[in-house]
Structures are given as C-alpha cells and as structure tokens.
Amino acid sequence: MVTDIFVSPGQEIQDGDTLFQLLQDLHLVEMERLSMELDMASAMQTSDSLLLHKVDSLTLLLDSLMSNERTRYISPLTGTVEEVLIAADQRIRPGNAVAEVSVASSELFEVFPPPDCTINAWPSGGSYIRFVEERAGYAVYSGELQAIEARFSELVTVPRFAVFENELDSYVITTDNDTILIFRAGERNNGLVIILPPEPLSDLLTWAEK
C-alpha cells in the first residue's frame, strides 16, 4: 500500500530520487492484527498496570511499524514527471505503472538479447546510458546509441564452471591467478553470459581446476 508520494506532475526528478513509499502486505497484516489487539486492550483498560503496559507497548510497536517499515521506491532515471498514476492508500502490485516520466533529454532505445541468449539481469549502464525498464523479451535504455552498443559489445559467454557465485556477487579466476568481480547477465546454451570487466582477461580457469 502506498503511504507517501513525493513527486507531482511537472517536477524534475533524478536517477535515485525517492518517488514514493509503501508498506508491504506482510507489514499491513501485522499492523491490522496489532490494531485489533490494541483496540481490545484499550476497551478493557482499567487501573491494571499490566493492561496499561500492554496498551503502551502496542502503541509504540504500531508507531514503529508505520515509521520504519516503509519501502522506498527509487526512480531509475532522470526526467520530468508527466503524470502520477497512483494515490496515497492505494494498493499496488508488481508491474503496475506508477508514473509517466519524460526523458526528452535522452533518446530511448530498445535492446534485445544476443541470439540464443537469455538475459536474467540487465546491466545498469554507466555514465552515458541508463537502464529504464525490462519489457517482454527486451529492455529499454536511455542515452547515446553508440554508448549502448559499446556496452553490449562487452557481453561474452564463458563456461558455466568458470564462474564462482558468492551470495550476490560473481567472480572469474584467470590463469594468472587473478580473481575478478564480474556482472553475470544471463545464460547461453551451456555457458554463462557476463559483462567483461574493465581489466583485460587472460584465459579462464574453472573453479574445479583451482
């Protein structure tokens, strides 16, 4: 559920600005349960010190949930808000449109995966391009076409067992014994698709060989 909206039509926004805040359904259910418990305790409240303490505790817990359990929705691009498509106290689901944003200062380009390649995570871009959104089978980027083409020319396929996963990070190891952080983008046949790091890669070892 949307709790706060921080933008309005005509407002300039930057990549990383907070557009709105929401409470996730799990928190809403917990708050509803606590509210019912608080109402019951308040109705029974007397001089009983235990009930007085319970009412105070429930009140503090509800206040904490309302103020601290909110999720920030961050703008993925820089532009001008044309229209806000949501309202406070509205429930939204993944995939719902929340705002129309003009990015007239940058052209938008559709980027499709290389042949026989499945992209699981689109790279964020860099100084000259920005990832805007993922659509059915492709992504939308803003920026300069040359920079977008250069970014995706860095996609390469490496053996699946040449990539080591450590929580949210992926690494490759080279025959020069360099361990290098890489961006794992997707899959292709029996290999993994990665974005080449800035450093040149020598031949890769598999982690079994290491």
Per-residue model confidence as pLDDT tens digits over 41-90: 666 665 555 556 566 665 665 566 565 567 788 887 788 888 998 888 88
Residue 90 CA, chain-centre distance (Å), reads 21
Full domain range(s) for residue 51: 25-68
pTM: 0.48
In sequence order, the 6+-apart residues with CB closer than 8 A to the CB of 43 are none
Q: What whole-number percentage of the chain has pLDDT above 70?
A: 68
Rounded CA-CA distance 149/109 in Å is 10
Residues 165 and 200 grouped into a single domain? yes
Rounded CA-CA distance 5/73 in Å is 10
pLDDT at 32: 65
Residues 12 and 31 grouped into a single domain? no
Q: Could you tell me if residue 34 is inside a domain?
A: yes
pLDDT at 44: 67
Indicate the number of domains in the chain.
3
Residues 1 and 99 grouped into a single domain? yes
Instruction: Show the tokens assigned to 20.
Output: 């709105």
pLDDT digits (tens, 9 = 90+) for 181-204: 888 889 988 888 888 776 666 666
Q: What residue ranges in 6-137 does DSSP mark as E strands? A: 12-13, 18-23, 70-74, 79-84, 99-102, 107-111, 117-119, 129-135
Residues 90 and 8 grouped into a single domain? yes
